[in-house]
Amino acid sequence: MKSSFLLCLLILSVSCNKHKTQKQTVELSCGQCQFGLTSQKGCDLAVRFNDKAYFVDGAHIDEFGDAHDENSGFCEVVRKAEVEGELINNRFKVTAITLLD
C-alpha cells in the first residue's frame, strides 16, 4: 500500500513539472515597427500568432543580424519562424527559434 502511494505521488509530481512549451509556426518581427506594440520603447523582438502579437523574452532582436537590414531585418520585414516556448503574463517566453525564410 505504501509503495503504491509513493508511486502515485511520483507520477503526479513528474506530470506537474512538465514544461508547457509548444512548438508552433509564427510571424517574427519587431514588435514596435511591424506589429504596432507600444508598451515598450525602442525595437524589440515579438511574435504574432492567432492575430495577436507578444513581446519575446529569451531572445534579442539583434541575435539574427542587423534589425534594420532592408531585406531581412526585423524592423523592415515580418519573417516566418518555428518557435518553442510558452505564453506567460502576456509575453512569449521562447526556448528555441528556427527561422523558416
pLDDT at 19: 45
Q: Rg for the chain (alpha carbons), in Å?
A: 18
Residues 6+ away with beta carbon under 8 Å from 32: 38, 40, 41, 42, 43, 44
In this structure, is residue 13 part of a structural domain?
no
How confident is the model over 21-42, as pLDDT tens digits? 679 999 999 999 999 999 999 9
The answer to whether 79 and 63 have CB atoms below 8 angstroms apart is no
Mean pLDDT of the chain: 86
Share of the chain above pLDDT 90, in %: 76
pLDDT at 9 over 60: no
Share of the chain above pLDDT 70, in %: 79
Q: List the CATH number of the domain containing 78.
A: 2.40.50
- Helix-strand-coil split of the chain, %, nearest 5: 20, 40, 45
pLDDT at 94 over 70: yes
In this structure, is residue 5 part of a structural domain?
no
For the chain, what is the domain count? 1
Does this model's pTM top 0.85? Answer: no
Residue type for position 61 = I
Domain span at residue 76? Answer: 20-99
User: What kind and span of H or E run contains 19?
Assistant: none
In this structure, is residue 34 part of a structural domain?
yes
In this structure, is residue 8 part of a structural domain?
no
